[in-house]
Amino acid sequence: MQKGSGSQGMSRRNLLAMIGMTAGSAAMYQAMTSLGFAAESGYTGPIKLDGDAKGASVLVLGAGLAGMTAALELRKAGYKVQILEFNQRPGGRNWSLRGGDTFTELGGATQKCEFDSGMYINPGPWRIPYHHHALLDYCRRLGVQLEPFQQLNHNAFLHSAKAFGGKPQRIKDIKTDFTGGVSELLAKVTQQGKLEDVVSKEDQEILLQALKSWGALDKDYNYKAGHLTSEYRGYTQDPGGGLTARPTDSEPIKFTEVLNSRLWRSLANFSLYEFQTTMFQPVGGMDMIGKAFARELGDIIRYNAKVKAIQQDEKGVTVTYEDTTKPGTTLQATGDWCVCTIPLTILSQIELNVGAAMQAAIGAVPYASSVKVGLQFKRRFWEEDERIYGGISYTDLPISQISYPSTGYNQGGKGVLLGAYTWNGPNSYELTAMDPAERVRQAVEFGAQIHPQYRQEFETGISVAWHRVPFTLGCAGDWTEEARKDHYDNLCQIDGRIVLAGEHASYIPAWMEGAILSSLDAISRLHKRVLAS
């Protein structure tokens, strides 16, 4: 199935996207499982570090989720633990921005968040899949309250500046009409006996029944306007009461228009395993997770500590760092062992005496470019005017997508949207090159093409371009298959008394689950080394 075995091959990713868009998420999950893609998290419960830690001490570098997971479990196992953290808060990329917060990016531009009380934006991780078992377990153990995050809202929009005169289309219309069109075509092919080589006569009859039900086809296997299709895509006038009760059927979009719009490409965002329901978010902001870890760990975290050098010998590890509240100060911390969770973009610039293989691995992983923009509006017009309650609208404009809040439904008042979220590519780099205020202005201008209310209702905004974030210089490890083959194992191996952990040392980079699982694996191996030493 792998592309590369021949020019006519189809990549597994493209195959899965096609299956997901035509047959739905359940069918795609079955395909992913058979292809070895969709194994659930290997986490089976709290880690058990049995045995005598012999009073060993561990320096943990970084108070993100990987670092705090390591510290929490190592301390429980009897180790003396200290964390050095660059920021003056815990969580790393597990971060929320609220009114009154300030943030200075690389280059010196400082923003102050002007959101009203109770409103926030998550510049980093913003949703939790149901199959991220380790993260969900820590949330439960640490008392982090969760609520549903709405990924798919059939009433949100798909938008292309090049299709339908730039008018956004409801997801339900594109999804239903695309499914109906594909079903009708496949039914015709089946009826003509074109599938006899791959589908038995009996299975063809079952397939036709399935297509009729799944694609809202009539008795002649046609997809066309009528009560049946309206039950799937909605009505022009919904059923009501009294003399105005009679519904008016909606008119499907012609299949050729759906195809040529390319809007169907965004449907994969609702079928991919990572985005299938149920998804969650912490009540009150994503940083509730980092804060919960920090509360548990207490004063073993030293904030405002900028690591300058990491040295090891046969006896232990010495870390030289600067107190960022007192520039120029030089301090040192020592430990028998070190768990380093510093992002590779930063670690590659720090003096570090490890072997050539690990050094090469650290330098081999670029970080993805990503930009997020949070926008506060005077009223929740997306609910009041357009009946969009949560979910995501996708667009081919540079902002890529708009995410509507999954809380506070139907209460009126102000609201904050995720007004842009880009991931790699030209749009991400162009937005990163702008000053923060210009990013916000661009998000408003582009968003107004989807929601004209933007210009009148906009109040304030804040933007985060991850390549300008001083503590990561990028969003997440962006591995290639070739780089993983050459460097991944070397990155994860214990080098002397140092082991690395973080989302970059996982097969699910950019996800908090990857950071936690990487950390648990690293400290399990480190503990065995300690017991054997």
User: In the structure encoding, which two tokens stand for residue 201, read together?
Assistant: 């006569």
* Residue 38, number of CB atoms within 10 A of its CB: 17
**Beta strands per DSSP E along 427-519:** 458-465, 498-500
Q: What angle do the packed helices 171-191 and 12-23 form, to 10 degrees? A: 100
* Residue 244, number of CB atoms within 10 A of its CB: 9
What's at 494, amino acid-wise? I
Please, what is the average pLDDT of the chain?
92
Backbone angles phi, psi at 419, to 5 degrees: -85, -10
CA distance 216 to 256: 18
Q: Is the pLDDT of residue 146 over 80?
A: yes
**How high is the pLDDT of residue 199?**
81
Whether the CB-CB separation of 110 and 246 falls below 8 Å is answered with no
**How high is the pLDDT of residue 443?**
98
- CA-to-CA separations, 513 to 69, 272, 282, 506, in angstroms, rounded: 11, 17, 15, 9
Query: What is the tens place of the pLDDT at every residue in 357-366?
Result: 999 999 999 9
Q: Is the pLDDT of residue 122 over 90?
A: yes
Burial 350-386 (b: 16+ CB within 10 A, else e): bebebeeebbebbebbebbbbbbbbbbbebbbbbeeb
Whether the CB-CB separation of 307 and 84 falls below 8 Å is answered with yes
Whether the CB-CB separation of 376 and 114 falls below 8 Å is answered with yes
CA distance 38 to 130: 13
Q: What is the mean pLDDT of residues 138-147?
A: 98
Q: Is the pLDDT of residue 29 over 50?
A: no
Q: What is the pTM of this model?
A: 0.91
CA distance 246 to 27: 36
Q: Is the pLDDT of residue 374 over 60?
A: yes
**How high is the pLDDT of residue 6?**
36
Paired residues of 301 in beta bridges: 83
**How high is the pLDDT of residue 517?**
97
- Per the model's pLDDT, the better-predicted residue between 180 and 23 turns out to be 180
Whether the CB-CB separation of 49 and 35 falls below 8 Å is answered with no
CA distance 378 to 481: 46
Indicate the burial class of 408 (C-beta count within 10 angstroms; 0-12, 13-18, 19 or more): middle
Q: Is the pLDDT of residue 23 over 60?
A: no
Q: How far is CA 529 from the centre of its chain?
A: 34
CA distance 391 to 374: 15
Query: What is the tens place of the pLDDT at every residue in 217-244?
Result: 999 999 999 999 999 999 999 999 999 8
How long a stretch of residues is the chain?
533
Paired residues of 317 in beta bridges: 312, 335
User: In the structure encoding, which two tokens stand for residue 514, read together?
Assistant: 């990857």
Give the whole-number percent of the chain exceeding pLDDT 70: 92
Q: Is the pLDDT of residue 35 over 50?
A: no
Q: Where do the domains of the chain lie, and which CATH numbers do they carry? A: 57-91+288-365+479-532 (3.50.50.60), 97-155+278-285+368-468 (3.90.660.10), 170-261 (1.20.1440.240)
**How high is the pLDDT of residue 531?**
96
Backbone angles phi, psi at 328, to 5 degrees: 95, -15
Q: Which pLDDT band holds residue 39 (cuts at 50, 70, 90)?
A: low
**How high is the pLDDT of residue 41?**
73
Q: Is the pLDDT of residue 16 over 80?
A: no
Q: Is the pLDDT of residue 501 over 90?
A: yes
The radius of gyration of the chain from alpha carbons, rounded to an integer in Å, stands at: 26
Mapping DSSP onto H, E and C, the string for 72-139 reads HHHHHCCCEEEEECCCCCCECCCCCEECCCEEECCCCCEEECCCCCCCEECCCCCCEECCCHHHHHHH
Query: What is the tens place of the pLDDT at every residue in 48-99?
Result: 999 999 899 999 999 999 999 999 999 999 999 999 999 999 999 999 999 9
Indicate the burial class of 407 (C-beta count within 10 angstroms; 0-12, 13-18, 19 or more): middle
- Per the model's pLDDT, the better-predicted residue between 20 and 389 turns out to be 389
Give the whole-number percent of the chain exceeding pLDDT 90: 87
By three-state DSSP, how is residue 215 classified? coil
Q: Is the pLDDT of residue 283 over 70?
A: yes
Q: Which among 229, 213, 121, 134 is positioned nearest to 462, based on CA atoms?
A: 121
**How high is the pLDDT of residue 18?**
47
Q: Which pLDDT band holds residue 194 (cuts at 50, 70, 90)?
A: confident
**How high is the pLDDT of residue 198?**
83
